[in-house]
């Protein structure tokens, strides 16, 4: 031990390895109430024992606490607080609202480590990825802080000295529902533009990842956001439905799967509520023979293996031109095998835990289907226990599958795990048709040194977020969202403002009124 203490870096590394998840798991971040109403953490009023769910650390399977779902009364309380606060918030200038958001962004940066640790505990993703995510979220909050003072209407000069103007007004109370893969991002990407526009916000995070949305509430409060403008209700599907159906909600913004997105839209249709949807994908990544091969291999890995492959925009259908297939596969498999599966809190880990037993089983089932359908598993796709202390968790090794055909089940379905399918192609024309042959349209990418070809191909791809010679980068200010069944609306850019406001047109007559009667 003494020698370890002298060897400080090694000692720290071991301490970190042993204590990190335990320290976070016992911290107030977990033990305190997880609803956030009217500026405070509160326990739900609902005490129906049938409506509880466990918060589980994906790497060990440890139940960290039992969370009570929010019921109708909790939703009523959240809506009452939001309605009350919204008027005051909307009455402030865009500049003032922006100041609050910018302070919140700074606080996200100050609390980056605390937030990242909570995010890793919730999701099982590697800690460095969580830190990176939080940094991007802080940037996004700051970005909307900047945009807040620019939200305005227009002036239109008309004939006869008459004129019209438009006022861009908030919608009122926005309800948000998130998925579990990027919990803090869901909370910030939705709340920051909603708040910038003068709305109040009520968010239901995924039941798998309840921690960081509440922490965001405390950050907003510390930054000066009036109580009630940002609220969090925890719960499962039932709470989500209560939120969508609540009469005080003016708009729903949802991130999740296509089937649930469809239910959210249906619920909103009844009362003609505004709705935006960020849904699933099965995106194509096209690698031409004239690419920079090492960059393309890196791109394919970025397109498939971040956050254990649980990324909606992943380029899981990797089309590779025939001539470079052999070299591409050799390099890809060699590098994929070197990925380090292990403790999500260890700095060297590149593959953390899959979110749940159910999700891991789904991924493994699809790998089995791939084998049965005649494809070749080149590496991974197996359950791994990186250390005995993780025997209760679920880790799946990143998987590369070749000899794939477009009509194979695992090539068509969204798996939401690290399963990369490689498909061979000959010509540009052929690959564009094949790439677009899907019900989804979230993202896509092209690797080539020929920029004319890159832009020609991109112009024909049916997807909302496209990449040339990189993949899965989300710079602040660049809109993100899907075509086809991948969604409606855009997040993370100026476009977002349109989805959180409505336009009032005002005509002003400067002359005596004339009429033909
Ligand atoms: P999911 O659709 O199962 O759940 C999403 C959220 O909806 C959760 O909070 C859940 O509690 C809630 N919910 C479930 N049933 C509901 C109902 N009937 N009414 C209202 N709410 C309900 O999705 P998931 O498993 O959490 O996430 C994975 C999916 O999310 C994948 O399909 C992925 O592609 C998608 N996703 C999309 C994006 C994007 O930006 N396009 C980002 C991340 C994830």
Q: What percent of the chain has pLDDT over 90?
A: 94
| pLDDT, mean of residues 242-259 | 98
- Above 80 in pLDDT, residue 3? no
Q: Could you tell me the distance, in angstroms and rounded to a whole number, from the CA of residue 468 to the centre of ligand 1?
A: 28
pLDDT by residue (tens digit) across 356-408? 999 999 999 999 999 999 999 999 999 999 999 999 999 999 999 999 999 99
**pLDDT tens column, 75-88:** 999 999 999 999 99
Range 290-312 average pLDDT: 98
- Determine the average pLDDT of the residues in 483-503: 97
- Mapped onto helix, strand or coil, the DSSP state of residue 403 is coil
Residue nearest to atom 40 of ligand 1 (CA): 278
pLDDT tens by residue, 432-477: 999 999 999 999 999 999 999 999 999 999 999 999 999 999 999 9
Annotated active-site residue 312? The verdict is yes
- Distance, CA of 84 to CA of 409 (rounded, Å): 50
Q: Which position among 129, 278, 414, 491 bears the catalytic label?
A: 278
CA 33 to chain centre: 24
Under DSSP, the state recorded for 225 is P
Q: Which two tokens stand for residue 58?
A: 């994906």
Query: Residue 56 phi/psi, 5° resolution?
Result: -115, 135
187 close to ligand 1 (CB < 6 Angstrom): no
Structure tokens at 456: 């020609």
Query: Does the CB atom of residue 239 touch ligand 1 within 6 A?
Result: no
Q: How confident is the model at residue 273 (pLDDT cuts 50, 70, 90)?
A: very high
| Catalytic residue check, 330 | no
- Sequence-separated (6 or more) residues with CB below 8 Å from residue 12: none
φ, ψ of residue 277 to 5 degrees: the values are -130, 130
Characterise 512 by phi-psi region: left (phi > 0), alpha (psi -120 to 50), beta (else).
beta
418-429 confidence digits (pLDDT tens): 999 999 999 999
- Give the C-alpha separation, 233 to 74, whole Å: 7
Q: Residue 90: left (phi > 0), alpha (psi -120 to 50), or beta? A: alpha
Asked if 364 and 419 touch (Cβ cutoff 8 Å), the reply is no
Joined together, the tokens standing for residue 129 give: 């990825």
φ/ψ (deg, to 5) at 339 = -65, 145
Buried b (16+ CB within 10 A) or exposed e, 240-279: bbbbbbbebbbbbbbbbebebbebbbebbeeeebbbbbbb
User: pLDDT of 182-204, one tens digit each?
Assistant: 999 999 999 999 999 999 999 99
Whole-number pLDDT of residue 370: 98
Site to probe by mutation for ligand 1, drawn from 256, 311, 481 as the one with most ligand atoms within 8 Å of Cβ, is 256
Probe target for ligand 1 pocket from 233, 257, 273, with the most ligand atoms within 8 Å of CB:
257
| Cβ 195 under 6 angstroms from ligand 1 | no
244 lines ligand 1 (CB under 6 A): yes
DSSP run (H or E) holding 92: none
pTM to 2 decimal places: 0.95
Cβ of 280 less than 6 Å from ligand 1: yes
334 Cβ neighbours under 8 A, 6+ residues apart: none
Cα(371)–Cα(403) distance, integer angstroms: 10
pLDDT at 23: 87
256 lines ligand 1 (CB under 6 A): yes
* Residue 264 CB–ligand 1 contact under 6 Å: yes
Q: What is the pLDDT of residues 13-62, one digit of tens each?
A: 444 444 578 888 888 899 999 999 999 999 999 998 889 999 999 999 99
Ligand 1 nearest-atom number relative to CA 259:
2
With a cut of 80, say whether residue 4 has pLDDT above it.
Answer: no
pLDDT: which is higher, 3 or 283: 283
Q: Can you tell me the mean pLDDT for 478-492? A: 97
Label residue 155 exposed, middle or buried (CB < 10 Å: 0-12, 13-18, 19+). Answer: exposed
User: Which of these, 116, 412, 141, 430, lies nearest to 288 by C-alpha position?
Assistant: 430
End-to-end CA distance of the chain: 99
Q: How much is the pLDDT for 49? A: 87
Long-range CB pairs of 370-373, under 8 A, 24+ apart, other chains included: 370/401, 370/404, 370/408, 370/410, 370/419, 370/421, 373/405, 373/408, 373/409, 373/410
Is the pLDDT at 92 greater than 60? The verdict is yes
Q: What is the mean pLDDT of residues 242-247?
A: 98
């Amino acid at each position: 031990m003494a020698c370890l203490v002298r060897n400080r870096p090694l000692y720290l590394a071991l301490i970190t390895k042993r204590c990190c998840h335990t320290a976070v798991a016992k911290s107030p971040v977990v033990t305190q109430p997880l609803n956030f109403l009217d500026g405070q953490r509160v326990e739900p009023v609902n005490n129906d024992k049938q409506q509880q769910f466990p918060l589980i650390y994906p790497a060990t399977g440890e139940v960290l606490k039992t969370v009570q779902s929010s019921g109708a009364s909790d939703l009523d309380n959240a809506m009452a607080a939001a309605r009350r606060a919204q008027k005051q918030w909307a009455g402030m200038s865009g500049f003032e609202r922006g100041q609050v958001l910018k302070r919140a962004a700074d606080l996200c940066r100050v609390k980056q480590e605390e937030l990242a640790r909570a995010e890793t505990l919730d999701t099982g993703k590697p800690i460095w990825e969580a830190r990176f995510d939080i940094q991007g979220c802080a940037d996004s909050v700051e970005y909307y802080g900047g945009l807040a003072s620019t939200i305005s209407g227009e002036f239109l000069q008309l004939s006869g000295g008459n004129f019209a103007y438009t006022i861009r007004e908030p919608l009122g109370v926005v309800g948000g529902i998130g998925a579990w893969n990027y919990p803090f991002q869901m909370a910030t990407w939705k709340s920051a533009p909603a708040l910038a526009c003068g709305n109040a916000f009520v968010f239901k995070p995924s039941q798998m990842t309840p921690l960081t949305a509440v922490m965001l509430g405390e950050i907003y409060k510390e930054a000066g956001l009036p109580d009630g403008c940002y609220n969090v209700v925890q719960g499962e599907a039932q709470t989500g439905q209560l939120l969508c159906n609540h009469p005080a909600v003016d708009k729903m913004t949802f991130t999740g799967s296509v089937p649930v997105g469809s239910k959210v839209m249906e619920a909103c249709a009844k009362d003609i509520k505004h709705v935006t949807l960020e849904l699933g994908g099965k995106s194509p990544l096209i690698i031409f023979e004239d690419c920079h091969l090492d960059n393309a291999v890196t791109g394919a890995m970025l397109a498939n293996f971040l956050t254990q492959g649980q990324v909606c925009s992943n380029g899981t259908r990797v089309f590779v031109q025939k001539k470079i297939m052999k070299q591409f596969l050799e390099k890809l498999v060699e590098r994929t095998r070197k990925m380090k599966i292990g403790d999500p809190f260890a700095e060297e880990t590149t593959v953390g835990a899959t979110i749940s037993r159910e999700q891991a089983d789904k991924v493994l089932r699809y790998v089995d289907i791939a084998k049965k359908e005649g494809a070749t598993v080149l590496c991974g796709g197996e359950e791994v226990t990186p250390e005995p202390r993780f025997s209760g968790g679920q880790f799946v090794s990143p998987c590369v599958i070749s000899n794939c055909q477009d009509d194979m089940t695992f090539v068509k379905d969204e798996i939401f795990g690290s399963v990369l399918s490689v498909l061979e192609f000959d010509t540009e024309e052929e690959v564009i048709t094949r790439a677009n042959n899907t019900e989804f349209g979230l993202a896509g990418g092209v690797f080539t040194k020929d920029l004319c070809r890159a832009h020609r191909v991109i112009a024909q791809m049916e997807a909302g977020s496209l990449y040339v010679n990189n993949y899965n980068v989300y710079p602040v200010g660049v809109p993100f969202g899907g075509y086809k069944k991948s969604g409606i609306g855009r997040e993370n850019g100026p476009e977002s403002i349109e989805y959180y406001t409505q336009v009032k047109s005002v005509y002003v007559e400067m002359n005596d009124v004339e009429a033909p009667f």
